[in-house]
Amino acid sequence: MVNGTSRLKLVLWMLILLGLIVGCSLWLRKPAWETDGSVAVTDHRELPNRKAATTVIVSGLDAPWGFDWLPNGDILLSERFGSLRIIRDGELDPQPIGGIPEIYISGQGGLLDVIVHPRFDENQLIYLSYSAGSDAANRLQVLRAELRDGELANAEVIFKVVNPKSGGQHFGSRFAWLPDETLLFSVGDGGNPPAEYGNALIREQAQSLDEHFGKILRIHDDGAIPSDNPYVDAPGVLPEIWSLGHRNVQGLTYDSIHQRVLASEHGSQGGDELNAIHSGANYGWPRTTYAREYDLTSTLITPHQALPDFREPEVVWTPSIAPSGLVAYTGSRYENAVGDVFLAAMLLRANKTILAYIPSPAGAILRLKADETGGFPAQEKIRIGAVRVRDIGQGPDGFLYVLTDTTDFPAEPGMQAGTLLRINRL
Ligand SMILES: [Ca+2]
């Protein structure tokens, strides 16, 4: 039988143990970033936070990844496990679009983004990005096809990453149109250590101008190379390259208010970035980064957060927010929102404990308040729910819409936990 004194001792010992665990966790959670003052480095744990008022438009989606509107208001929506879906008059057609190519589905690979040609009414063209191949040898491809009677017709692969890689990580692959109707899209760096390419870590290829890994590329709507691409005349350089030094860009948009291209990029541990993309510029990965390795001691990837000749990000987030789609808002549904940038964030809490780095999905979008010069003086976290927010877009009605997914990562086929939500109020 335990008497009162023994019970008190037991409680004291438990308190001491708890204190040690908490103390070690706090010590391990020491900030893994510093700033030189020129970049907005955000610790998102400090962001003001509120909940959006939303309406479910469609539920039961299986790992939705990207979406876009047809001129008649219908929505095309990709599911990573290989289905292209259509929402007509707010109703999800149970029958997926036919004629989808063979897709490599593993890890982060699968059917990825979808975008509609700016003159779809004239040409019925849509574009899909997806991974193709096998575990041992796979690559990102871009398919162009006409959408006719619920089927893809006259499909044509207009781009393939020149060399294959192994494994299911870092395909990038978000699309964006420029006003001149050239198409931008991202290609990821190929994967985390220990993934290798040649005799080095594959992420080093983000700096190689003879590889597509870790780049933003620009092509014409038929896959031809624009004559004003930055490296089009450089010998030995892949002519699609628009910018380099990216880890894994999964958010890409043209900001028509400030007339610039914006891209969101996943860091490894921390160091997520928002970049303003300039033709021919180098964004640093992996020579410069605020991110650290995925290990308990948060090993430095490089001692350099900035170096001459590399562009610095507009905003950096540590811990990670896992940014995916983004949009620069032009509508009038929300107060003072024109020019603000909204990002889908797949992860907005990350706790490093004594045992492990524990990501906890707490779906949210981030609103970056833009000033007249296009700078981002303030940010706000807008909670969506216990989900991952994969993509965000502005509808023809001026409302923001988001794609959400299950909190399980990676999702398994058949979970059907994804939704398309309309944001009624921020
Ligand atoms: Ca960078």
The number of folded domains in the chain is 1
128 three-class SS: strand
Asked, for residue 297, whether it belongs to a domain, the answer is yes
What confidence score (pLDDT) does residue 356 get? 54
- Measured CA to CA in angstroms, residue 390 lies from 165, 205, 323 at distances of 24, 26, 8
Q: What is the whole-number distance in angstroms between the Cα of residue 229 and the centre of ligand 1?
A: 21
Digit-coded pLDDT (tens) for 168-216: 999 999 999 999 999 999 999 999 999 999 999 999 999 999 999 999 9
Digit-coded pLDDT (tens) for 381-406: 999 988 899 999 999 999 999 999 88
Nearest to 304 by CA among 320, 316, 291, 287: 287
Asked, for residue 36, whether it belongs to a domain, the answer is no
Question: Residues with Cβ < 8 Å from 95, sequence gap 6 or more?
Answer: 150
Q: Answer whether residue 15 shows pLDDT above 90.
A: no
Q: What is the whole-number distance in angstroms between the Cα of residue 246 and the centre of ligand 1?
A: 6
What confidence score (pLDDT) does residue 296 get? 82
Q: What is the whole-number distance in angstroms between the Cα of residue 290 and the centre of ligand 1?
A: 8
What confidence score (pLDDT) does residue 37 get? 46
Asked, for residue 418, whether it belongs to a domain, the answer is no
- Number of separate helices (H) and strands (E) present in the chain: 2, 30
Q: What is the whole-number distance in angstroms between the Cα of residue 241 and the centre of ligand 1?
A: 16
Average pLDDT score over the chain:
91
Q: What is the whole-number distance in angstroms between the Cα of residue 305 and the centre of ligand 1?
A: 8
292 vs 29, more confident:
292
Neighbours of 277 (CB within 10 A): 22
Asked, for residue 345, whether it belongs to a domain, the answer is no
Asked, for residue 198, whether it belongs to a domain, the answer is yes
Asked, for residue 393, whether it belongs to a domain, the answer is no
Question: Residues with Cβ < 8 Å from 181, sequence gap 6 or more?
Answer: 118, 119, 220, 221
Rg (CA), the chain: 22
Expressed as residue numbers, the domain containing 303 is 62-340
Q: Answer whether residue 375 shows pLDDT above 70.
A: yes
Neighbours of 71 (CB within 10 A): 12
Q: What is the whole-number distance in angstroms between the Cα of residue 89 and the centre of ligand 1?
A: 41
Nearest to 314 by CA among 341, 337, 294, 292: 341
Q: Rounded CA gap, 376 and 218, in Å?
A: 26
Q: What is the CATH number of the domain that holds 257?
A: 2.120.10.30
Digit-coded pLDDT (tens) for 149-169: 999 999 999 999 999 999 999
Q: What is the whole-number distance in angstroms between the Cα of residue 357 and the centre of ligand 1?
A: 23
Q: What is the whole-number distance in angstroms between the Cα of residue 135 and the centre of ligand 1?
A: 28
The residue type of 363 is: G
Q: What is the whole-number distance in angstroms between the Cα of residue 46 and the centre of ligand 1?
A: 23
Asked, for residue 358, whether it belongs to a domain, the answer is no
Q: What is the whole-number distance in angstroms between the Cα of residue 378 and the centre of ligand 1?
A: 21
Q: What is the whole-number distance in angstroms between the Cα of residue 349 and the centre of ligand 1?
A: 22
Asked, for residue 193, whether it belongs to a domain, the answer is yes
Q: What is the whole-number distance in angstroms between the Cα of residue 61 and the centre of ligand 1?
A: 33
Q: What is the whole-number distance in angstroms between the Cα of residue 245 and the centre of ligand 1?
A: 7
Prior bond of 31 cis (ω within 30°): no
Q: What is the whole-number distance in angstroms between the Cα of residue 188 and the centre of ligand 1?
A: 13
Q: What is the whole-number distance in angstroms between the Cα of residue 318 and the centre of ligand 1?
A: 13
Nearest to 47 by CA among 274, 264, 319: 319
Q: Answer whether residue 49 shows pLDDT above 90.
A: no
